[in-house]
A and B are shown apart, each in its own frame.
Chain A
């Protein structure tokens, strides 16, 4: 009985820790096209809404820094890469499918 109680406590703790998890995101865009702008505003609004204070986002223009794109095997633009928390995830497109991004980023939507 004690054991299971402990387990429940651990679970609660882990959940809480997850809520505090810091997110490191990189968005690769190809110039300031409408598509790029759409992706940027889309991810910003998600982060502001769900990850306030615990996210870091870097927008990289692959025209300016082709080396970085090569390093990360970025083919499509825009591409969003979540480097932290693990596992690494890649999203391509304008990031318009909000529900799907939230699920894949492992973000629990605030009710």
Chain B
């Protein structure tokens, strides 16, 4: 990973450090090896001691302008040069530029006879001459223990070695001394007794047929350092140590959203889809449509002009393209447009660390907006749960730092259906979608749940997930008196419901009609009554008028009679 000077270890600056330039090592050692002091690098055969030393020198010469001497007791200079040429290090050229000297010191037991007291002044003179010739600041002794085989007098040799390490200190050389691992001790001949400033242990462990290299700083006098065992690998560019502690939870968080590729799923996730730069987990049993959902996301990303990197650990690329074609997604076109890139490999091809490095390098190179890993569960075939988790943690961390949306699929097994992930990584995930096969009435149907989605409103409803040649679709599962139904049961129930409601509708309209008729009848009755009422009123009025007229006539008659009778 990148050198991170903001890490708590790196801030410590109690001791002058000599940066190694080895990817990740300076980070865990807080800036490099102790300057002007010897460091012991020990480990079994083939664990990368020589390479560690060589990279220390090459980086020193090319990046820090510190020339170095490589003292080899085992390999010949040209052999060494050939071995590291594949890593892009041209030792001959460095030698020609006076940045590096390879001293091959040949010692053969059979040739030498001891006859009394001696010292190793010859070695000192030789190293001294080499150091002075190029003004070396760094030296690697690989591996001084060969001398034990050649020189039987251990007493002399030990005192001479002590003198040699002291000499290195006096000359101000930052030294790397390699040593073969012993049975019970760090080195076979107890070199750790003499080199007490810094000890780095390298080892290779084989688990389930896959080897993982690890590095640990056993001690580092006068400095804080990472104490863990850090996996490392030797890749095309040399050593890479990947400290798990590079987790700095301080990357910027985006509130931008990205579409999921399935309309209804966007709706379920607060209407806008995933957060950009978030991590999404799609888990489910076999055949629930995980890859399809992943491909839909890839397509949606590319449709928006983004770039998507697809790591396939299960299927070859051609198969994925064919399969996705069958559900209406033409991924080949996106590939041709350079928006989508596949990287298919078997998880068992190499160890977890190598996978991580490959993915890391590809991401750096392709600069995608989204990364898909399909599926992560296959990785556990390579590493243990812990290891997979540590790798994914670092990978997710790295991608989040780059604001890249990550989508993982995870295959869970039938017996552990549900809210469980094979790699126990759910806590790393921001959004977790669970796909499930639900078996009813002799058929299996896909159901989709959003188990969690940090920082957004999301639906708690189960949806039926349908894959058809038209693409991916989510429909509401049937929720009614019969419970939750899916598939043909849902379709059947929906038909029944429709029929029922039609009948009910008919009934209702009949009832309505008869009521309306009744009302009409009442209305007409009401009109008739009103008519009666009016005529009756007229009659009453007529009677009243008649009565008035009678009265008037009566008064008139009475007056008349009075007049006639000449009443007074």
Q: Is the CB of B117 within 8 A of A94?
A: yes
A15 to chain B, nearest CB (A): 24
Interface of chain B, main secondary structure: mixed
Q: Is the CB of A77 within 8 A of B119?
A: yes
How many chain B residues touch A (CB < 8 A): the figure is: 21
Q: Is the CB of A66 within 8 A of B126?
A: yes
Given the known A-B contacts A30-B122, A30-B125, A66-B125, are A73 and B113 also in contact in the complex, defined by CB atoms under 8 Å? no
B126 proximity list for chain A (CB < 8 A):
66, 69-70, 75
Q: Is the CB of A89 within 8 A of B123?
A: no
Is B321's beta carbon under 8 Å from chain A? no
Residue of B105, B106, B116 contacting most chain A CB atoms (<10 Å):
B116
Q: Is the CB of A75 within 8 A of B122?
A: yes
Q: Give the tally of cross-chain contacts (CB within 8 A).
A: 86
Q: What string of 1s and 0s marks CB contacts (under 8 Å) between B95-115 and chain A?
A: 000000000011100011111
Q: Is the CB of A76 within 8 A of B117?
A: no
B122 proximity list for chain A (CB < 8 A):
28, 30, 62, 69, 74-77, 79
A78 to B126, CA, bound (A): 15
Question: Which residue of A62, A69, A73, A94 is within 8 Å of B107 (Cβ)?
Answer: A73
Q: Is the CB of B125 within 8 A of A63?
A: yes
Stretch at the interface among A18-26, A48-56, A95-103: A95-103
Q: What string of 1s and 0s marks CB contacts (under 8 Å) between B118-139 and chain A?
A: 1111110110010000000000
A62 to B119, CA, bound (A): 13
Q: Is the CB of A90 within 8 A of B111?
A: yes
B117 proximity list for chain A (CB < 8 A):
35, 93-94, 96
B114 proximity list for chain A (CB < 8 A):
91-93
Given the known A-B contacts A69-B126, A70-B126, A73-B105, are A94 and B111 also in contact in the complex, defined by CB atoms under 8 Å? no
Q: Is the CB of B116 within 8 A of A94?
A: yes
A35 proximity list for chain B (CB < 8 A):
117-119
Q: Is the CB of A75 within 8 A of B115?
A: no
| Nearest opposing residue in chain A for B126, CB measure | A70
A79 proximity list for chain B (CB < 8 A):
118, 122
Q: Is the CB of A62 within 8 A of B112?
A: no
Interface residues of A in 62-90 (CB under 8 A from B): 62-63, 66, 69-70, 73-79, 88-90
Is B151's beta carbon under 8 Å from chain A? yes
| Nearest opposing residue in chain A for B147, CB measure | A75
A104 to B111, CA, bound (A): 11
Q: Is the CB of B113 within 8 A of A89?
A: yes
List residues of chain A with CB under 8 Å of any chain B CB: 28, 30, 35, 38-39, 62-63, 66, 69-70, 73-79, 88-97, 100-101, 104
Can you list 15 pairs linking A and B with CB atoms under 8 Å apart?
A30-B119, A35-B117, A35-B119, A66-B129, A75-B107, A75-B122, A75-B123, A77-B118, A88-B111, A91-B112, A91-B113, A92-B113, A92-B118, A93-B118, A101-B113
